[in-house]
Amino acid sequence: MIYPITVYGDPVLRKITTDIERDHEGLEELINDMFETMYNADGVGLAGPQIGLTKRVFVVDLSPLGEEDPLLRDFKKAFINARIIEKSGEEELMEEGCLSIPGIHEKVYRKNHIRIQYFDENWNENDEEYTGYPARVLQHEYDHLDGVMFVDHCTPLKRRLLKGKLTDISKGKTNATYRIKIPKA
Ligand SMILES: [Zn+2]
């Protein structure tokens, strides 16, 4: 099932999410639906709040980049109850976009190395470290679990310049190629 994607201005994107319970009903289906929704929108990552779910879950698929970077060849993962326990390395400036902010791409700074602990869809516990692009994507998705969006990392000046476009998005004025859920006025 493909969910409509929540967009900037929807309060659900500003909520702090809660852990998924072990007996969460339909978890496998939820994960499959999140991947399907993400692929349909040509995204590389999708977090719970983006389908209106205030739970600590996100999915990421970087495997299409496996040709450039063999480490990413099998990188199709669900992250349940993730905790980033360390951010380190250099502050790196890289362009980001977000399915919940269609049409806007901006460069933001993030640390280029992280350590993350999480459960996969089979409740196997993982403790992994990432550098560079995967660290970037995981921090972006992880932010969604805490109600943070990538434009929050832009400078105040940049945010002021984006304000009009963000307001348009919150009113449903976007040219997104996928179905969105327009926030209530
Ligand atoms: Zn996003």
Q: Find the 47 Cα to ligand 1 centroid distance in Å.
A: 7
Cα dihedral 30, 79, 14, 93, rounded to 10, equals: -130
**Residue the block writes with tokens 């700074």:** 109
Annotated catalytic residues are 141
Q: Find the 126 Cα to ligand 1 centroid distance in Å.
A: 23
pTM over 0.75: yes
Q: Binning pLDDT at 50, 70 and 90, where does residue 184 land?
A: confident
Q: Find the 75 Cα to ligand 1 centroid distance in Å.
A: 18
- Chain mean pLDDT for the chain: 96
Q: Find the 24 Cα to ligand 1 centroid distance in Å.
A: 24
Query: Are 47 and 144 within 8 A, CB to CB?
Result: yes
Which pLDDT does position 50 carry in this prediction?
A: 98
Summarize pLDDT for 107-141 with one digit per residue, the tens.
999 999 999 999 999 999 999 999 999 999 999 99
Q: Find the 52 Cα to ligand 1 centroid distance in Å.
A: 13
Q: Binning pLDDT at 50, 70 and 90, where does residue 5 land?
A: very high
